[in-house]
Amino acid sequence: MQAFQKLIEEVSVYFSSILMIPLLGVGVYLTWRLRLVQMIRFGHSWKVIAGVYDKADDEGDINHMQALSAALSATIGIGNIAGVATAIHFGGPGALFWMWVSAFLGMATKFSEATLAMVYRQISKDGTAAGGPMYYIEMGLGKNWKWMAIVFATCTIFSSFGTGNSIQAFTVADSFKTDLGIPQWITGLAIATIVGLVIIGGIRRIGVVASRLVPFMAAVYIFAALWIIWVNIAHIPEAFHLIFTSAFTAQGAIGGFAGATFFQGILWGIRRGIYSNEAGQGSAPIAHAAAKTDEPVREGTVAMIGPFLDTLVICTLTGLTIITSGAWKTPYTTEMSINEPVVVQLDSKLKPGGMVDNRDRVSGVVPVVDGHIEGVGFIYNHSRVVDPTVFASAGESQATPLIEGMLMVENGHVVRVDTPAKQGANPVFSLHGKALRNGSPLTAQAFETGLPGKWGGLVVTFGVLLFAVSTAISWSYYGDRAVTYLVGPKGVRPYRYIYVLIVFIGANASLGIVWSFGDIVLALMAIPNLFALFLLAPKIQQLKQAYFSREHTPVRKWHL
């Protein structure tokens, strides 16, 4: 399993590195081709979202606000809490700058995706809409490109299992286990039940639930983040200075942070940027294609607000709480499974990003004396563990320090613990010490610095739950449309059963495997979509010019 996890992590880095070039390139090209549409037409977007142009007799399933909410409920998710923390953990504060870059360019990309999705969407006999990259690849580029549409739809299904499903379920289960002590399988079962009950209702129910849930959960999270930033307001200038300077230079080791190269800052910023706002991935236009409107460009202006709210607002708030609180570089008391940390030579040096050379990995017998391990070091979450202590527990009994024993280590991982006396029946061994945190636990730690008691962690845990459930619900719709495109409506119900099952499986999986799998299928999904956007850019430009050359008269007052 450790070898498989290492392999899939290396493959994910490779795919993510390749994806950066077309992702940034197409974003720059569309921004230039559409003459900074994300800035010049920003105000028009809010008028459309407010419903001032809505017509009751327009074809489609949901209004503009519900379409945006359905798309945002899929994009505002774990990427805003755990994804930002992971980017800063590996790439340093400069990674946040590159998330901003991906969001700004992504606004033009999202505009283009949603516009094309509306142009080539299909309205069935019962009035429901189906659209997305698989349709504009086939119909926009021609039948000769249908094979690429099939590739995209297939990757969408797999991405729904990774990006929109297992990553969400795992992060919730991990947070509930860390903060509330609830076993992961119980959380997984609960989430699977909730998701299963909602997705049977289809896009109309998803749109209604999302339009209620997204504004509420975003407001709670934003308020709490603003409070943490206010508590640490004195560190704001220093935080922005650190973000901009480290975005273009290598970041040295600070506190428990092992440092990061310039490339790591860009890589993790772009990786988590696209995971957060999904611009260029091709998922959001599937939701926007269901909007009630006969103006494709109008829905395009709605879609481009997604990266703005998701990354430039919510991800920035998360990043600032982590940086201003100092949580990103501070080791905290952590409990980990005995075989999770890497056992290394005591004098080994960490590479930028917290990596270690294979020659520094320990193999052999390591003695435990009074619970402490001497002569070797432990690396966890890409940082050195301070004061490592072995604990043992059996059944429901509380963990206690292992007085005496031996760790059997192979290639840097503990494979067995030998003790002279039994620690109860079938003891479970764990390692306690101080180490950097990653993912949602890092964000929770940042929130706890400004909120009394456990309230900070509970806010993050609550936010993780709402964000993840809404994301999993909306991503099931993306998979639905992909299955419908490939095999027709008959495949939707079996897909939903599999989807709910994977929610449970993902909650009990491994962090590294879950995130890496999500990155791989995300890249495979994005590449054909970006290729189609590049070739169809002239048509998008024509549609934009034709739309804004006409006068648009509001038909009703604002009713957000």
The pair of structure tokens assigned to 34 is 């559409």
For residue 337, the enclosing domain spans: 333-435
Residue that terminates a domain, selected from 371, 403, 435: 435
Q: Which residue has the higher pLDDT, 475 or 556?
A: 475
Nearest to 405 by CA among 388, 392, 425, 419: 419
Q: 300: closest CA among 487, 531, 501, 38?
A: 38
Choose between 2 and 94: higher pLDDT: 94
Residue type at 89?
H
Tally of domains in the chain: 2
How far apart are alpha carbons 321 and 100 in whole angstroms? 16
Residue 371 within a domain: yes
Looking at the structure, do residues 379 and 255 belong to the same domain, yes or no? no
Final residue of a domain: which of 386, 402, 435? Answer: 435
Enter the pTM of the model: 0.83
Model confidence over 133-178: pLDDT tens digits?
999 999 999 889 999 999 999 989 988 888 778 878 888 887 787 7
- The residue from 435, 458, 478 where one domain ends is 435
287-307 pLDDT, tens digit each: 888 777 788 998 899 888 888
What percent of the chain stands above pLDDT 70? 84
CB 305 within 8 A of CB 46: yes
Residues 163 and 276 in one domain: yes
**Is residue 527 in some structural domain?**
yes
Same domain for 76 and 151, yes or no, is yes
Angle between helices 2-33 and 511-535 (to 10 degrees): 30
Is residue 363 assigned to a domain? yes
Per-residue pLDDT reduced to its tens digit, 510-536: 666 776 777 787 788 888 999 999 999
Mean pLDDT over 378-387 rounds to: 88
Q: Are 268 and 173 contained in the same domain?
A: yes
CA atoms of 359 and 349, how far apart (whole Å) = 11
Looking at the predicted structure, is the pLDDT value of residue 87 above 50?
yes
> Is position 408 within any domain?
yes
Within a domain: residue 117? yes
Q: Per-residue pLDDT for 186 more than 70?
A: yes
Q: What is the pLDDT of residue 175?
A: 76
Same domain for 494 and 375? no
The string of pLDDT tens digits covering residues 462-503 is 777 877 887 888 788 889 889 999 998 889 889 999 999 988
Residue 221 and residue 82 share a domain: yes
Instruction: Give CA angle at 234 (233, 240), nearest 5°.
Output: 80
Cβ neighbors of 116 (< 8 A, separation 6 or more) are: 133, 136, 140, 285, 296, 532, 533, 536, 539, 540
Residue with tokens 């949901």: 62
Do residue 160 and residue 199 come from a single domain?
Answer: yes
Q: Mean of the pLDDT values across residues 198-212?
A: 60
| pLDDT for res 74 | 54
Q: Tell me the pLDDT tens digit for each residue of 7-29.
A: 666 777 677 677 778 888 999 99
| Three-class DSSP category at 474 | helix
Query: Do residues 518 and 403 share a domain?
Result: no
Q: Is 398 in contact with 371 (CB distance < 8 Å)?
A: no
Residue 8 lies in a domain: no
- Check residue 211 and give its pLDDT: 56
pLDDT reading at 560 higher than 50 = no
Asked whether residue 403 is domain-assigned, the answer is: yes
- Same domain for 282 and 177: yes
Mean of the per-residue pLDDT values for the chain?
Answer: 82
Neighbours of 551 (CB within 10 A): 5
pLDDT of residue 140: 93
Q: Do 361 and 411 have their domain in common? A: yes
Cα–Cα distance, 158 to 164 (Å, whole number): 10
Instruction: CATH number of the domain at 124, please.
Output: 1.10.4160
Whether 386 maps to a domain, the answer reads yes
Greater model confidence, 464 or 32: 32
Task: Tell me if 492 sits within 8 A of 480, measured CB to CB.
Answer: yes
Please tell me whether residues 402 and 488 are part of one structural domain.
no
The pLDDT of residue 73 is above 70:
no
* Alpha carbon distance 71, 61 (integer Å): 14
User: Coil, strand or helix: which one is 399?
Assistant: coil
Shared-domain flag, residues 219 and 356: no
In which residue are the tokens 């290639």 written?
411
Q: Choose the weakest-confidence range: 71-75, 188-192, 229-233.
A: 71-75
Tens-place pLDDT, residues 349-369: 888 777 778 888 989 998 888
